[in-house]
Amino acid sequence: MAFLSTISVALLVFLFSVVINQAQSEHFFFEGFNESDDKSDLRLEGASIFKTSGALRLTNKTKNAIGHAFYSKTIQMFNKTSPNASSFNTYFVFSIVPPASGKGGFGLAFTIAPSYQIAGAKAGQYLGLFNELNDGKNSNHIFAVEFDTVRGYNETSNSYGNHVGININSMESNTSEPASYNINNTLKNEEIDMHKGDPIQAWLEYDGVSKVLNVTMCPMWQQKPMKPLLNFAVDLTPIVKEFMYVGFSAATGDTASSHYILGWSFSTAGSPSIESLWTSYTSGRERIIFFPILSDCSYRRFVRRDRSFVRDTALSRAL
């Protein structure tokens, strides 16, 4: 599949609104990735590389591969005078591209870990986070939200997965749901096939006071749903250490997909949910997307044709 062989992440530019209003807060955003600009800001291991298109590729279609990409600076998750782990929110766009024929795997995970080097981690069902010896141990101090396309953990064989799970120190999810998004604040959810290669938005929002994590996802061409996919009560205070690394881990197994991060924002500033703002209209087979860019007060116009993205002109327009 050549979906991402021609894709330019410049076509997926989205607005990141970060409110900086608290001392000791951390915040950053990547509107795509560039090796010359971002090499010092991210620590890459394994199969992870920067693509000339601006994508961050965590794995290619090599079997039993692991890829890690962590922000280079530690994040202060709490201080010794505070009883609670820090609130945080993160927004990213990812794409999982299967092979041209056959099945792919396994998945990727947003990860908070005490080190950007996860020693002894295995590929396949462990997603580059754990191994059979340390899986489930509190000493891991690893929190992850997995976007998994293969279900095989603690099972005799692998099967189609396509689920989102919240994992604490183990690949055994504390809670999980099939990948989907809510339709217009109703009781109906629409499934998302994460294995099609389409770009998908994800929001993770943790409230350190109420100790609740919300996970929301939807296709790139949708506004953020009002209802999260996962609403999970969890206290991260005993799980995280004072200083942690945030980033992504991905792995392949006996089957392999390419895993990409197309853009990413993170903040502990306690700001409102970070989300991309865009308007669109449909003309024939084309979907026209306008992304407002505050930095240059222009709207960039992009056209989606079938499974490829073609850049059109940047349209100057006052916000």
Cα–Cα–Cα angle for 31, 34, 40, rounded to 5 degrees: 105
In terms of Cα–Cα distance, which of 165, 192, 196, 167 is closest to 181? 192
Q: How many whole angstroms separate alpha carbon 105 and alpha carbon 251? A: 8
> Would you give per-residue pLDDT tens digits along the chain (319 residues)?
444 444 433 334 333 333 223 336 889 989 889 887 778 899 999 989 998 888 999 999 999 999 999 999 999 998 777 778 999 999 999 999 999 888 899 999 999 999 999 999 999 999 999 999 999 999 999 999 999 998 756 544 444 579 999 999 999 999 999 999 999 888 899 999 999 999 999 999 999 999 999 999 999 988 999 999 999 999 999 999 999 999 999 999 999 999 999 999 999 975 434 444 343 333 333 333 333 322 222 223 333 332 333 232 222 222 1
Walk me through the domains of the chain, giving residue ranges and CATH numbers.
Answer: 9-277 (2.60.120.200), 285-319 (no CATH)
pLDDT of residue 24: 64
CB 293 within 8 A of CB 13: yes
- How many other C-beta atoms lie within 10 A of the C-beta of residue 294? 11
Question: How far, CA to CA in Å, does 158 sit from each of 152, 162, 312?
Answer: 4, 12, 42
Q: How many whole angstroms separate alpha carbon 254 and alpha carbon 252? A: 7
- How many other C-beta atoms lie within 10 A of the C-beta of residue 267? 25
Query: 211 — alpha (psi -120 to 50), left (phi > 0) or beta?
Result: left
